[in-house]
Structure 1
Amino acid sequence: MPGPDLLSSQGLRLDGRRPHELRRIQCKLGVFTQPDGSAYLEQGNTKVLAAVYGPHQASKAKSLPDSVVVNCQYSMATFSTGERKNRQRGDRKSQEMSMQLRQALMAAIKTELYPRSQIDIYVEVLQADGGAYCAGVNAATLALIDAGIPIKAYMIACTASMAWKGGEPEPLVDVSHVEEAAGGVVLTVASLPSTGSIGLIEMSHRLHMDYFDMVLSRAMQGCKDIEAILDKAVRDHLAEGWTKSNDDVVTI
């Protein structure tokens, strides 16, 4: 089952990464003061902002007696893809991504703690270069933590694809735009790596069952690796806040 030529003779990808290597991830919590929680995340050249408002009282029409209402809005800046197209906010693709974002985050949030309440989550893709949905999930998770909203575990998303080297299958993790555009299968997984549960799984093309477990395993390992990076960012953010609060204490 030959696929796109995505690996060099040395086993390197088009951007120089090895098959199991993530793109560079940089992130920061608390980038805005107006929302209850916010985060900025770069995954390769994909750049995403996330903001969380709430929990706040839900309207009577929306409120649930035993759970919180989670409202998600996923959108892409008109300049995010580098194409000169005026993409309207709330188009069909954005609505689909908003639903998938909500599906993933609902599996992480402890919704039973906030009956008759609502949480609003906004994700804006500033630059898209592959894995924009995954970066959005990861940024939203950080924003929820920054807002102090209890979650069961980190909800992490990652993509994986399949390449061939010398006729042998080789799964790729954290697929870039160039690799997506090559036409091969892209598997997207949103999971709670610490528990092993999956909140969302989607595949762009059909893939033979002989290779599915291999690609899924690579995506799940990518989620675990991303979780470690985000957890360090959260701990560094908390340590920075603790240090700052101690520096503000005046001794008389």
Structure 2
Amino acid sequence: PPSQAALSQHGLSLQMRGSRSKTLHDRALVNCQYSMATFSTGERKRRPHGDRKSNEMTQHLKQTFEAAILTQLYPRSQIDIYVQILQADGGNYCACVNAATLAVIDAGIPMRDYVCASSAGFIEDTPLADLNYVEEAAGGPQVALALLPKSDQIALLEMNSRLHEDHLESVIEAASKACKDVYAVLDQVVREHLQEVTTLLGE
């Protein structure tokens, strides 16, 4: 599958919540929250919403969807995106992006493009895309790429360790190709869903 991690159902909202001092008068505020279920990994330990890793992932998701959603169409509004990892088997951020993209589309919120994500690494002198937990745990250099596939614009690119520039292009190319493969799957699913809904409405 194009994404390794399993997620719970999404939560999306357009209403303004909390302090109104955060209100943006020319666009919507994108609010994201990332969390992991206690049973999502082999280690049974509590992971509070405010831990460093969750905060980092929350910020990455926020940056990604601020680049993709047409926030100027919803001034003085807030778009909430909640994701929870139920089973972590690698590619957590990427699975969140791909699932949240479908959730945003299903909610009818206009986007510049699909935003699709994939991880990639350089293991045993070979670039690999869509790393699973074992491949991530091997400790080699890894990148996470979120791409707007039609325009080839990068919404987010993160690297966890140093990688020689001779190998960087091949790793990013592997991640980019995987993102476009994910896009083909997501686009097909969206079109099939739209056709089903249109048929039901016609009846």
Q: TM-score, normalised by structure 2?
A: 0.94
SS for the counterpart of 2:26 is coil
| Matched residue, 1:30 | none
Q: Distance in 1 between matches of 2:11 and 2:128?
A: 32
CA contact under 8 A between 1:50 and 1:136: conserved in structure 2?
Answer: no
In structure 2, which of residues 170, 189, 192 is the aligned counterpart of residue 233 of structure 1?
189
CA distance in 2, matches of 1:155, 1:171: 22
Counterpart of 2:59? 99
Q: Does 1:158 align with 2:129?
A: no
Which amino acid in structure 1 is aligned with residue 63 of structure 2?
Q
Describe how 1:40-51 pairs up with structure 2 within 5 A: 43-44=3-4, 46-51=5-10
SS at match of 1:65: coil
> How many Å separate the matches in 2 of 1:63 and 1:89?
23
- Cα 1:88–1:52 shift into 2, 3 Å: closer
8 Å CA contact 2:23–2:29 kept in 1: the answer is yes
Q: Is the contact made by 2:12 and 2:104 (CA closer than 8 Å) also made in structure 1?
A: no
SS of the equivalent of 2:177 reads helix
In structure 2, what is the equivalent of residue 109 of structure 1?
Answer: 69
Q: Percent identity?
A: 52
Q: As a proportion of its length, which structure holds more helix?
A: 2
Q: Is the 8 A contact 1:67 1:115 kept in 2?
A: yes
1:133 aligns with 2:133: no
Q: Residue 62 in 1 paired to residue 18 in 2?
A: no
- Deviations 1:173-221 (CA, angstroms, capped at 9, x unpaired): 1001000111111111111011111111111110001100110111011
Q: Is the 8 A contact 2:12 2:103 kept in 1?
A: no
Counterpart-to-counterpart distance in 2, 1:232 and 1:173: 21
Query: 2:171 maps to which residue?
Result: 215
Counterpart amino acid of residue 246 in structure 1:
G
What does residue 195 of structure 1 align with?
151
Q: Which runs of 5+ in 2 are unaligned?
A: none
| 1:74 and 2:30 are equivalent in the alignment | no
Structure 1 residue 57, shift from structure 2 partner:
4.0
Shift of 1:50: 4.8
What is the 5 A alignment of 1:81-92?
A: 81-92=41-52
Shift of 1:243: 2.1
Rg larger in structure: 1
TM-score norm. by structure 1 comes to 0.77
Residue 29 (structure 1) aligns with: none
Q: Secondary structure at the match of 2:157?
A: strand
1:52/1:152 CA distance change after superposition, 3 Å:
farther
> Where is the strand percentage greater, Structure 1 or Structure 2?
1
Per the alignment, do residues 72 and 80 of structure 1 end up closer, same or farther by CA in structure 2, a change over 3 Å counting? same
Aligned partners of 1:53 and 1:118: how far apart in 2?
Answer: 10
Q: How many residues align?
A: 202
Which one-letter code corresponds to 2:176 in the other structure?
M
What SS does the aligned partner of 1:189 have? strand
- State the AA in 2 paired with 1:112: Q
Q: Could you tell me how far apart the structure 2 residues matched to 1:173 and 1:110 are?
A: 29
RMSD: 1.4
> For the residues of structure 2 that align with 1:189 and 1:156, how far apart are their CA atoms?
8
Aligned partners of 1:50 and 1:140 also within 8 Å: no
Structure 1 position 82, deviation (Å): 2.4
